[in-house]
């Protein structure tokens, strides 16, 4: 499953209230000629859902870590300290208050959407404010027994009960503890004969006309390399952003003409949008981003997957930031016009 589906399901869960709602009714079928059945007729009993074991297989140092399965928006349904590279939870049937309606091609079912995560833990296994996430794993889907046989289940490869949204199986759900990335490097080539400059500046500075010390500002050679390392200065970091945690730094690599010949980016210089830095295969704009470890599960789920430190991120068609599932290598960035958000 791709991140678009995960994001759609997550937004749907957060948009729902905690109030139980009526179960969606699937289209009726013609039962006029169906003979009545009794308990002695051999009719199979209604399906039931028993306890389900889900085993997580963790890569990385588990020392001081806890693991949880969380109902997005209201906290952990199960959690425990991590004491080794594997951990098994026994998951039960979930209440109707945690379910929301999923509609596909006119068909509806009710499902629950649950996140899996690893956090820095104080020993009790429970994710609490201030305990930051080091990993977000594949999400889990719960489908009530009443929707057994729904065509939506066949479409997504789900069954009633617990399902894994992504790669792996319920007996081996893969998770990776991410160490902070200390540096990010991008490079490329530029064959034109003109001589613009290449700089990296906080996106907020470019939006409001602030000028200050940049992390990179050099003439653009035929072969260029940008490396950012270490924590960015405090004045480069965001505070109070509604979507990103405090301490995030978003840096925009861009080219410009040094109109005042000052040797650095300043008021009056001209940014060259036609020479933007874009991802190669699908030319979307890119950013160099510093993410602190965060205790905000929603941010980790939709943007960083529990990763922190420096990362190359791309701007998707909706204008949202994403760390690519397959990280772009040094040659994955080109200079040219990028696709704008839709």
Q: What is the pLDDT of residue 9?
A: 56
User: Are residues 109 and 221 part of one domain?
Assistant: no
Q: Which of 31-40, 92-101, 189-198, 246-255 has the lowest mean pLDDT?
A: 31-40
User: Are residues 123 and 233 part of one domain?
Assistant: no
pLDDT in tens, 83-94: 999 999 999 999
Phi and psi (nearest 5°) for 13? Answer: -65, -45
- 342 is a domain residue: no
- 38 is a domain residue: no
- 143 is a domain residue: yes
Residue 61 structure tokens: 């140092």
- 43 is a domain residue: no
What range does the domain containing 194 cover? 183-336
User: Are residues 170 and 64 part of one domain?
Assistant: yes
Mean of pLDDT values over 325-340: 62
Q: What is the pLDDT of residue 44?
A: 61
pTM: 0.76
pLDDT in tens, 285-332: 788 999 888 888 887 776 777 788 998 887 777 777 777 645 544 456
Between 37 and 282, where is the model more confident?
A: 282
- 40 is a domain residue: no
Number of domains in the chain: 2
Check pLDDT > 50 for residue 18. Answer: no
* Three-state DSSP class for residue 178: coil
- List Cα–Cα distances, 261 to 9, 194, 195, 219, 285, in angstroms: 51, 15, 12, 12, 27
pLDDT confidence bin for 24, thresholds 50/70/90? very low
Check pLDDT > 50 for residue 4. Answer: no
- 42 is a domain residue: no
User: Are residues 150 and 239 part of one domain?
Assistant: no
Q: Residue 192 gets which letter from DSSP?
A: -
- Tally helices (H) and strands (E) across the chain: 4, 21
User: Are residues 201 and 128 part of one domain?
Assistant: no
Q: Around 193, how many Cα atoms within 13 Å sit in the side-chain half-sphere? A: 0
> What span, in angstroms and rounded, lies between the C-alpha atoms of 239 and 246?
5
- 35 is a domain residue: no
Check pLDDT > 90 for residue 7. Answer: no
Phi and psi (nearest 5°) for 275? Answer: -120, 55
> What span, in angstroms and rounded, lies between the C-alpha atoms of 85 and 323?
25
Work out the mean pLDDT of the chain and round it to a whole number. Answer: 81
Mean of pLDDT values over 172-182: 91
Percentage of the chain lying above the pLDDT 90 cut: 44
């Amino acid at each position: 499953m791709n991140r678009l589906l995960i994001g759609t399901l997550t937004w749907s869960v957060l948009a729902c209230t905690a109030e139980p709602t009526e179960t969606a009714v699937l289209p009726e079928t013609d039962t006029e000629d169906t003979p009545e059945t009794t308990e002695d007729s051999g009719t199979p009993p209604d399906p039931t859902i028993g306890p389900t074991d889900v085993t997580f297989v963790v890569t990385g140092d588990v020392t001081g870590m806890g693991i949880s399965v969380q109902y997005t928006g209201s906290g952990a349904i199960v959690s425990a300290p991590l004491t080794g590279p594997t951990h098994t939870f026994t998951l039960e049937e979930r209440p109707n208050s945690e379910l929301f309606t999923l509609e596909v091609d006119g068909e509806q079912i009710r499902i629950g959407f649950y996140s899996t995560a690893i956090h820095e833990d104080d020993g009790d296994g429970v994710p609490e404010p201030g305990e930051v996430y080091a990993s977000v794993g594949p999400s889990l889907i719960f489908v009530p027994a009443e929707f057994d046989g729904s065509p939506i289940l066949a479409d997504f490869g789900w069954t009633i009960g617990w399902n894994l949204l992504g790669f792996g199986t319920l007996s081996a759900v893969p998770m990776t503890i991410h160490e902070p990335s200390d540096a990010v490097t991008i490079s490329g080539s530029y064959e034109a004969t003109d001589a613009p400059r290449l700089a990296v500046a906080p996106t907020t500075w470019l939006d409001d006309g602030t000028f200050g010390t940049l992390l990179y500002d050099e003439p653009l050679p035929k072969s260029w390399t940008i490396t950012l390392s270490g924590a960015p200065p405090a004045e480069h970091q965001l505070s109070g952003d509604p979507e990103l945690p405090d301490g995030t730094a978003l840096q925009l690599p861009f080219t410009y003409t040094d109109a005042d010949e000052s040797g650095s980016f300043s008021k009056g210089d001209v940014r060259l949008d036609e020479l933007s830095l874009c991802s190669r295969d699908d030319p979307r704009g890119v950013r160099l981003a510093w993410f602190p470890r965060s205790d905000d599960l929603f941010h980790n789920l939709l943007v960083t997957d529990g990763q922190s430190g420096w990362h190359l991120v791309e701007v998707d068609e909706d204008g949202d930031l994403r760390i690519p599932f397959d990280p772009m290598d040094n040659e994955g960035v080109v200079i040219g016009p990028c696709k704008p958000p839709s």
